[in-house]
Each structure stands twice: as structure tokens, then as C-alpha cells.
A and B are shown apart, each in its own frame.
Chain A
Amino acid sequence: MARQKKVLQQTARKLITFTTPKSYVAEQFRTLRTNITFSSPDADIRTMVVTSAAPSEGKSTTSANLAVVFAQEGKRVLLVDGDMRKPTTHHTFHMGNTIGLSSILTRQAAPEDAIRPTAVERLDLLTCGAIPPNPAELLASKSMDLLIKQLKEKYDLIIFDAPPVLSVTDGQIIANKCDGVVLVINSGSTEKEMALKAKEAITASNSKIIGAVLNNYELAKDSHYYQYYGSSE
């Protein structure tokens, strides 16, 4: 019971753009959305990877919230849990994880069965599915390419939540198949050296870095970003 409550609270905390869309953090995510849209005016970004150098720097939170704000903008968005080693998106959205990406890639399920709608309008979720023994091979497979191609027809934007690039190669593989990479930097915990290596790893995978997101960044009290403009919640 207590555990259940905690999970609910954590979820409410994580999906802040959905639960409290007027908070200034939600506004920060909308700014993020705008900047991503404007970052490449010529090339339309249809597939995007959110990754970081090391674990627990805020990839899942960022990707989920980013998916929500893009859906709120009117886009048909699919959030894919590309982290086949420590999947978390099904917790964030309160869903089962029996079938998902791994099921599709191993041809055990059709995409239509694995993709499920979320409480957020226009936002669908593809969880990780059963954790496979060979995530890197699955992600690098031809069926992955095919799947992305299929999904692009149905969705305006596909966001992948990827594992940290410096821990496993999965992030690089997904990045290689996508239009752009968003690198999450955790303020005060990401080492400069690691961040630089992560950037090099992404560049080496022949993918385009859209830019970085500075997570957990404490704004100064007198910052003009601090209060949400318009209403005080």
C-alpha cells in the first residue's frame, strides 16, 4: 500500500508536464520543445534519441516529458523505451511490460499489439518488452530499421529513451538510426570528461547531436525564469 503510494507520487513527479502543466518546469520543457523544433529548420526531425553519458541523469524523465509536450503541441508522438537493460517507461506510464519492442523485434508480436495509447492525448507508448539477452544485436537488426520505417508512417515524431552511451553501445546504435540526439547533462553530477566522451561517442556513431539539456539545474532565486509568467499555479 505504502509502496503503491510512493510509486504513484514518483510518477506524478516525473510526468510533470502532464500532471502540472502550469509549473515552470513544464514551461522549461516547452522551451526545450521549441528549441528542438528551431534547431534544424531544414531537416525535419522525425526520430530522436534522448541519452546521457552515465546512468540516472534524467534520460527517462526528459524523454517522457518531451514526448508529452510534443503531443500537447498537436503532434502524433510515439515514445519508445530503447533501454533494454533497465527499462522504466512502463513504470512512468503505469503499464505492463509483457510485450514491447523486444517482442516486435523477435517477431513475437505485431507493432499494433505492442504499442498502447497513454493517458496523454496523441501520445502512444512502446515499452521495452521482455528483457532480451542480446539488446545490441536486436537494436542493430534489419527488423529494427524496418520497424522505424513503419512507425514513421503513423507518427510525426518518435522519441527513443536510450541507455547511457558510455555504459553500453545500445545508445550509439539507436542514435545511428535516428535523425537527432539530445544529450542529457545532469548539473553537478555529470563529469566534464564523461560528457566530452559521450559527445565523441555520439559523433562517432555518425549521428547528429541536436544539443544538450542541462538537467537538475538550480536556477538562482532572482532568475527571471524562476516564476512562471502569467499565473502562479
Chain B
Amino acid sequence: MEETISLQDLFKTLKKRLGLIALLTILAITIAGVVSYLFLTPIYETSTQILVNQEKTDAAQMINQNIQADLQLINTYSVIIKSPAILDQVEEQLNLGLTVDQLNEKITVATAENSQVVNVTVQDPDPQVAVDIANMTANVFQEEIKELMSVDNVSILSPAVLNDNPAPVAPNPMMNMAIAGVIGLMLGVGLAFLIDYLDTTMKTDQDIEDILGIPLLGVISPIQEKAELTEKVATSSRRRAG
């Protein structure tokens, strides 16, 4: 017997298992929501901005060249910020009990394209600690750069501040729930088709013709409990009357 699957059959299967699919989707979203809100440690993010600028701006035509040089410098600075030379001091001053590597993981250095501004972003479960690390890193860097590169061209543009109501950046419950919803939906659809595929019982009039090859004389619907049915109708109408 040749198995052919038509689009209608697919939709029929999905329609039949709509409850299962919906249940799995809702379940996945709920689990993701509960885990995100109750179990995952929220991570807070703060950032400080550092401006890199040569102070000797003597000639106007030189500015453009200086900026180019600064941009190249910034790449170097990004590496320096995350180097143990800086982070060791940050740790020493803040005394957080973290290794340089752990500290390194919390810090991200990024430059806005074609600008002289360097963003130092810090993520930590404690928003206060994140602010402290960001500011301390910027300060230490500003001090150290004088010694390391014998220039004084770094100024702190905006220090990290602690908001009154810091919002965590991770976990993102909405995103997690959305992803879980999609996964739940796919799982439900997959399971629906699997159940349908594994079900080897005769179902429709089509099955009888396809498999047995004998004429279908008729279909008989399930015989309902008549007594129960009339009883239900009676109680509902009585309720309406009263």
C-alpha cells in the first residue's frame, strides 16, 4: 500500500491534536517564564565611556590625522584595558575576591565606529558592583596609561552610575518565553505527527478502501447515552427557568 500524504491530511492531523500542541506550547512558555523569573540570577549591566584624544591640537589640518592615529590607538587601548596590568589593580582596589580571568569575563570593551569614544561595559549580578568595576577600570586605566604609553590623552566622558531602578539585561524573560513557545510549538506539531504515524488503527472510510479493498457499506456513529443527554437538557432548562 502506497502512503500518500495530502495537505488536507496534514491539516486534519494538526486540527485533531490542536489541544496537545497548545498544551505543549503553553507549558514550555510557563516553564521558561518560571525559570527566568524565579531561578536565574539577574545580571545587571553598566557602562562607562572613555574619550581618547590628543591634547596637542596645534594645527587645524593636523586634526584629521590625529583622529586617525587615535583610532588606531583605541584598538590598542581596548586590549590594554582588559590586560592584567589594569585588572590586577582594579581587583586590588575593590577587593572583590575575583581572579583576573573572572573580572575579564565581566568586562566588554567596544568602540563606536569611527569615533574616539570607548565603551567599557560591565555585567554583574550586583548592579552596585558593576558600577564600581566600570568606574574603577576607567580610573585605573586613565592613571596607568600615562605610565604605559607616556601620554595623557584619556578622559572619562561619563562615569557609570547606579540607577534607582536598575533593570537586568539577562535573563530576558520575554525572549526566553518566546523561544520556549516556538520550541513547544514545534515539539507539539512533531509529536502530533508522530502519534498519528504510530497509530495503526483503522480510522476513516478511506482506510477501508485503501487497506481492505472491500466496499464500505456504511458508517455508524457512536450511539450516545440518550438518557443522560435528556437529563442534561432538563437540568439546564430548569436552571434557565429558575
Contact = CB atoms under 8 A, between A and B. Distances in A.
Nearest to B225: A13
Of the listed residues A24, A186, A187, A216, the one surrounded by the most CB atoms of chain B closer than 10 A to its CB is A187
A13 B221 contact: no
A188 B203 contact: yes
Contact of B220 (A36, A191, A211, A216): A216
B217 A212 contact: yes
Contact of A25 (B205, B211, B214, B220): B220
Contact of B202 (A61, A185, A218): A185
A214 interface: yes
A31 interface: yes
Given A12-B226, A199-B214, A212-B208, A192 B200 contact: yes
Given A187-B203, A192-B200, A31 B218 contact: yes
Contact of A20 (B211, B215, B226): B226
Interface string A7-36: 001001110100110001100110110011
B51 to A, nearest CB: 71
B227 interface: yes
Nearest to A35: B217
Interface in B215-242: 215-227
Nearest to B218: A32
Contacts of A24: 221
A209 interface: yes
A211 B215 contact: yes
A205 interface: no
A165 interface: no
A39 B217 contact: yes
B76 interface: no
B227 to A, nearest CB: 5
Contacts of A147: none
Which of the four size classes fits the interface of chain B? 20 to 34
Interface in A50-86: 58, 61-62
A187 B199 CA distance: 12
Which of the four size classes fits the interface of chain A? 35 or more
Nearest to A30: B218
Contact of A190 (B201, B214, B224): B201
Nearest to A219: B221
A13 B219 contact: no
A187 B220 CA distance: 10
A193 interface: yes
Contacts of A215: 219-220
A211 B200 CA distance: 21
A195 B211 contact: yes
Contact of B222 (A9, A192, A193, A218): A218
A2 B35 CA distance: 52
B4 interface: no
Contacts of A186: 202
A217 B219 contact: yes
A168 interface: no
Nearest to B213: A199
A214 B212 contact: no
A218 B226 contact: no
Of the listed residues A14, A32, A188, A212, the one surrounded by the most CB atoms of chain B closer than 10 A to its CB is A212
Nearest to A199: B212
Interface in A171-208: 182-183, 185-193, 195-196, 199
Interface in A70-125: none
Contacts of B224: 13
Interface string B93-112: 00000000000000000000
B6 interface: no
B220 A213 contact: yes
20 contacts: A20-B226, A28-B219, A29-B220, A62-B220, A187-B201, A187-B202, A192-B201, A199-B212, A199-B214, A209-B214, A211-B214, A212-B208, A212-B212, A212-B216, A212-B217, A214-B204, A215-B219, A215-B220, A216-B221, A217-B219
Given A210-B217, A212-B216, 7 more contacts: A28-B218, A191-B202, A192-B211, A193-B200, A214-B204, A216-B222, A218-B222
Interface of A: 9, 12-14, 16, 19-20, 24-25, 28-29, 31-32, 35-36, 39, 58, 61-62, 182-183, 185-193, 195-196, 199, 209-219, 225
